[in-house]
Amino acid sequence: MVQFSLACIRNVINKLCFFSLVPVEVATSSIDCSQPQYNDRLDTPLPDIPYVTKFNTEQIKLKEKEKGPWTQLTKEEKLALFGTPPHTLSKEWVAMQTQRMIDMRVNPILGFSSEWDYNTKQWKK
């Protein structure tokens, strides 16, 4: 049987009494993951819910037109529906990335760099 000194027991009792008198405030916030989440962040480019939840009359008409064939939408209507395209789809960005991949000799055996002739600095034919 283990025996404790009186000072040790008194110390434990004092700590228990102190902690029982101090109010414990727990601040928690939880996210309801059953609902779609919206994060306006650069690393989350396609959020679960749309940017606008309440549409005006013009937007409602545009949403109805969206349900039809997309070939009938004008460029302005497509931009209003989907926003501007990402900068990674621009021709300048694609050219810079292509040059970067060639400079890094990405996948030289069967991939991207295997189609580039480094001596003539042209695509192989």
pLDDT in tens, the chain (125 residues): 567 677 777 777 777 666 555 565 666 677 777 777 777 777 776 666 666 778 899 989 999 999 999 899 999 999 888 888 889 999 999 999 999 999 999 999 999 899 999 999 999 98
What's the pLDDT score for residue 48? Answer: 61
What's the pLDDT score for residue 28? Answer: 67
Residue 105 domain-assigned? yes
CA 89 – CA 123 distance, rounded (Å):
21
Q: Does one domain contain both 97 and 67?
A: no
What's the pLDDT score for residue 99? Answer: 95
What's the pLDDT score for residue 18? Answer: 60
Give 68-85 pLDDT, tens digit per residue. Answer: 998 999 999 998 888 888
CA 62 – CA 70 distance, rounded (Å):
11
Residue 65 domain-assigned? yes
Q: Does one domain contain both 67 and 97?
A: no
Residue 96 domain-assigned? yes
CA 77 – CA 66 distance, rounded (Å):
9
Which residues form the domain of 89? Answer: 85-123
Q: Does one domain contain both 90 and 62?
A: no
If one counts the domains in the chain, the total is: 2
Residue 40 domain-assigned? yes
Residue 11 domain-assigned? no
Round to the nearest angstrom and report the end-to-end CA distance of the chain: 89
Q: Does one domain contain both 45 and 68?
A: yes
Residue 95 domain-assigned? yes
Secondary structure of 38-75 in HEC code, one letter for each residue: CCCECCECCCCCCCCCCCCHHHHHHHHHHCCCHHHCCH
Q: Does one domain contain both 65 and 89?
A: no
Residue 53 domain-assigned? yes
- Burial code (b: 16+ CB inside 10 Å, e: under 16) for 94-122 equals eeeeeeeebeeeeeeeeeebeebeeeeee
Residue 58 domain-assigned? yes
Q: Does one domain contain both 67 and 93?
A: no
CA 113 – CA 98 distance, rounded (Å):
10
Predicted TM-score of the model (pTM): 0.47
